[in-house]
Amino acid sequence: MRNAVRIRPIWYSAIPLIAWWAGLPIWWALGIQRAASILVAIPLGLWLVMNRKKLELPFPLAVFGAFICWVLLSLIAVTTLRYGLAYGMRLAFYTAAFVIGLYTWNALRRGLNPRLLIWPIVALWGAAVVLSFPGLMHAGLGFPTPVEWMLHKAGIYNPFLSDSSHAQFSEWDQAYGTPRPSPLFAYTNEWGAAMGITTPIAVYAMLTTTHRRARLLVAGLLLLAAVPILSSLNRGCWISLAVAIGYVVIRKTCAGDLRPLVSVAVVSVAVAGIIAASPLSELLTERMDNPNTSTRATLYSASVHLAMESPLVGYGAPQSSEGLADSNDVAIGTHGQIWTLLVSQGFVGAALFVLALICFVWFARPLRGSSPAVWLHAVGLVALVQLAFYEVVPDGLAITFVALAICATTAGRYAPTPAPQSTSDSRLKPSHR
């Protein structure tokens, strides 16, 4: 007799994602956090191949697949090895996000418990909050990683690779003379982008958990997070959280639930009082009075100019700003995902990317405004807003796809419909409510 094949439970397939998010402090300490999403996508891609006959491709990810095809086409515009490496890195990030999104959708449809994906993201968020405090107390605190050491041994001193592989708890802002948190990421802006994306997910986890200690822990971390978020002087992060909170308040209020509106009013008054009575008041006032956005404006204008010169396929990657006044030697097509897309893949590629994200936000909308899943849905809106001033790869886009997939399959049109136990596969069918 043939030995029976043992089928592993569906949660086994989620181990790479769990290891990525919950273990990000480890990958950061090793210097490989930027490549983690690519490494994670490999086993998830194998799972997709093994289950290819039963895969579902939701429309938003199909649009994103068309975007990736356009990225492949833009290779014809790459002119040098340097630009080729930048092109290849972003193509790998986009492909990894697509694979992670497609895996999440199909695994959830096959019964994967969403909590297995939610709580590792919360662990990532919590670690980024807690580890920000050493950097705020000791400016410049950091340590060399094994990858950084190997790069130096090999004689590679590329600034981007050095920044990506060096573990630092904060960046020093010379303009304002203050440290700005950046743990688990290479730059403060990446930390701020991650806070904007993951904080709504942490709120969702707090509201849906049945464990009192977990709820209290997340609530405490949310209060604690206010310190590094305000101290970061990161307006992009502030805008992201304002969009998420504003959206949730509107949806809840329209559904007849006034509690979020009251809570936001009380918290806003409390935070304003704390700021007014602390040194943060002077720092925030100075930040608002001196926005220091001239470099961004220069890069944005140059990005549009380059996109107009190559509107179809772009240049494959951000371009050198050599000779451009007030650019601080920062590449044209950075400081915002939309500008990266315009320069790298032209207007068509940028339109496909934005369309895919908009479609996913619409596709995943919760049926009831009173549902806690509204917080997950807010992540999609945050990602759309962040396109103007943050790059959403490698981490933000993948996490956004996961959050929207969970929202769609738990509280949206594709939430499983209760069925008799005798129909074991009916829970996988989409609801047509």
CA dist., res. 120 & res. 226, Å (int):
21
Q: 210 is in which domain, residue-wise?
A: 11-415
Residue that has been written with the tokens 């809106």 in this structure? 381
The answer as to whether 3 is a domain residue is no
Instruction: State the pLDDT at residue 292.
Output: 59
Residue pair 171/234 in contact (Cβ under 8 Å)? The answer is no
CA dist., res. 172 & res. 200, Å (int):
27
Amino acid at 368: R
Alpha carbon of residue 351 to chain centroid: 19
268 Cβ partners below 8 Å, 6+ apart?
none
Instruction: State the pLDDT at residue 11.
Output: 83
Nearest to 17 by CA among 105, 98, 104: 104
Nearest to 244 by CA among 374, 122, 124: 374
How long is the chain?
Answer: 433
Half-sphere exposure of residue 50: CA atoms within 13 angstroms, side-chain side: 11
φ/ψ (deg, to 5) at 393: -115, 150
The answer as to whether 224 is a domain residue is yes
The answer as to whether 420 is a domain residue is no
The answer as to whether 4 is a domain residue is no
The answer as to whether 431 is a domain residue is no
Alpha carbon of residue 127 to chain centroid: 15
Residue pair 45/52 in contact (Cβ under 8 Å)? The answer is no
27 Cβ partners below 8 Å, 6+ apart?
20, 33, 36
> How many domains would you assign to the chain?
1
Residue that has been written with the tokens 């993951």 in this structure? 198
CA dist., res. 371 & res. 402, Å (int):
18
Nearest to 377 by CA among 408, 356, 354, 352: 408
Quick one: DSSP state of residue 7?
Answer: P
Residue pair 229/238 in contact (Cβ under 8 Å)? The answer is yes
The answer as to whether 6 is a domain residue is no
The answer as to whether 256 is a domain residue is yes
Instruction: State the pLDDT at residue 429.
Output: 44
In sign, the C-alpha dihedral spanning 332, 335, 339, 344 is positive
Residue pair 313/76 in contact (Cβ under 8 Å)? The answer is yes
CA dist., res. 288 & res. 307, Å (int):
31
The answer as to whether 399 is a domain residue is yes
Six token digits for residue 402: 């996961």
Six token digits for residue 52: 């290819």
CA dist., res. 35 & res. 392, Å (int):
14
Average pLDDT across each block of 10 residues of the chain; the chain has 433 residues. List them in order: 56 92 95 93 96 93 97 94 93 97 95 95 97 90 91 83 89 79 92 96 96 95 91 91 94 85 77 68 63 75 92 92 77 91 96 97 92 96 95 94 96 70 42 40
Which residue blocks in 52-187 are alpha helix, DSSP H?
A: 59-73, 81-109, 115-130, 132-137, 146-153, 159-165
In sign, the C-alpha dihedral spanning 401, 48, 125, 191 is negative
In sign, the C-alpha dihedral spanning 99, 102, 104, 106 is negative
